[in-house]
Structure 1
Amino acid sequence: MTHLVFVCGHAGTGKTSLAKRLIGPLMRATGEPFCLLDKDTLYGHYSAAVMDVLTHDPHDRDSPLYLKHLRDPEYRSLIDTARDNLELGIGALIVAPLSREIRDGLLFNRAWLGISDDVTIRVVWVHVTEDVAHARIAARNDPGDAYKLTHWDEYRQRRFVPDAKASRDLLMFDNDAPSPEAFDELLGRIVQK
């Protein structure tokens, strides 16, 4: 049995930090190796080169052009890379927003994911208040966030909040200021049978 764990949420929620904190405890709790697949790490340089050619802005990850032409292929490749690892018996911890895929119920769709029934799927939705997200994005001073900050009113309207139906299967994690007990509870929910 291998695990496919998604750590999803909007920019500034602390997805990557949470995933890095989870991976060691996950390996110990499950006894299986894991790979960490962060969308920005895997595809950031590639997308920067493409967007530089197309728009002369290598940091663009939010414009309509990026969203229309690069977003979905990046995510599809991320899923494909996870599947390759799962087939080798290596658990996958994926870090990416994936809000559209959550809204459409795709992260629990084994056919869409291309994975077998012996893979345990867990989807963590990491959330913080809008003010905390904005402050974190501004503080990290990442050039890739410039569009979000410049077009905050537009960006904030895309901030998907899972409704009761969507969140029924999600492991919701409030990352404003989580306690060690909240982290331990999340880890337990991920590895429970």
Structure 2
Amino acid sequence: MPRLIFFCGHAGTGKTTIARRAIAALMAEAHARCSGESFCLLDKDTLYGDYSSAVMGVLTGDPDDRDSPPYLQHLRDPEYHGLLNTARENLGLGVNTIVVGPLSREIRAHKLIDRAWLKVAEDVELRIVWVHLQENEARRRIAARGNRNDAWKLAHWDDYRSRLFRLSPQDYPELLMFDNTRPTEQDFTQLLAALA
């Protein structure tokens, strides 16, 4: 049975880095067991970054905009629909699929555990990792990485941070919470065990 693993979280939390490290470890484990399992990594920014830049350049004149109302109204949902459609195609081929993206609205609404909404079969194993860290550290990392898509966030931090939310584990028992502020090797090992 294939696995569908989500790595979600706000910008700057390190979800892509953790997902890449996890998929490498899961692939090595599958190889060691000679299981024949295959894996696919689907990162929303990789799949749709250039496309969204072209569209936003036409819509607003700012190809790096990923936070303004035009982006949120016209591109956000189609990007996620395409991301999930691609994940379903891989799952249908028996490929374990790791999906990376904020998916914050979907997390808040508990949609990622709703198989009917996801349109995935009962035999697909679901895991959802919420990568988080302290706000000041997230802002520091966003500024340090120098991604042009983050310019709006940094220039309008108060507006951006008003959309952020903290999840309480008791309200979201479906999530594997991963604090990426200063994770230890043991923290990562425990995450891998939960994904297995």
State TM-score, norm by structure 2.
0.95
| SS in structure 2 of the partner of residue 115 of structure 1 | coil
Q: Distance in 1 between matches of 2:122 and 2:105?
A: 23
Q: Distance in 2 between matches of 1:90 and 1:165?
A: 31
After superposition, the C-alpha distances for 1:116-172 in whole angstroms (9 at most, x for unaligned) are: 011000000000100000000000111000000000001011112223444211000
Structure 2 unmatched ranges of 5 or more: none
Whether contact under 8 Å (1:8, 1:126) holds in the other structure is: yes
Q: Distance in 2 between matches of 1:165 and 1:180?
A: 25
| SS in structure 1 of the partner of residue 162 of structure 2 | helix
Q: Does residue 1:160 correspond to 2:160, yes or no?
A: no
Structure 1 unmatched ranges of 5 or more: none
Aligned to 2:18: 18
Q: Does residue 1:41 correspond to 2:46, yes or no?
A: yes
Q: Distance in 1 between matches of 2:39 and 2:158?
A: 37
Alignment of 1:128-147 (within 5 A): 128-147=133-152
Q: Distance in 2 between matches of 1:190 and 1:29?
A: 12
Alignment of 1:68-83 (within 5 A): 68-83=73-88
CA drift of 1:27 comes to: 2.3
Aligned to 1:124: 129
Q: Distance in 1 between matches of 2:191 and 2:179?
A: 10
| SS in structure 1 of the partner of residue 165 of structure 2 | coil
Instruction: Give 1:170's match in structure 2, choosing from 149, 158, 175.
Output: 175
State TM-score, norm by structure 1.
0.96
Whether contact under 8 Å (2:4, 2:126) holds in the other structure is: yes
Aligned to 1:4: 4
Match of 1:112, as an amino acid? W
Q: Distance in 1 between matches of 2:163 and 2:111?
A: 18
Q: Distance in 2 between matches of 1:161 and 1:91?
A: 29
Whether contact under 8 Å (1:103, 1:166) holds in the other structure is: no
Instruction: Give 1:51's match in structure 2, choosing from 46, 51, 56.
Output: 56
Q: Does residue 1:109 correspond to 2:114, yes or no?
A: yes
Q: Distance in 1 between matches of 2:123 and 2:29?
A: 18
Whether contact under 8 Å (1:105, 1:166) holds in the other structure is: no
Moved over 4 A (4+): none
Aligned-pair identity (%): 57
Aligned length: 191
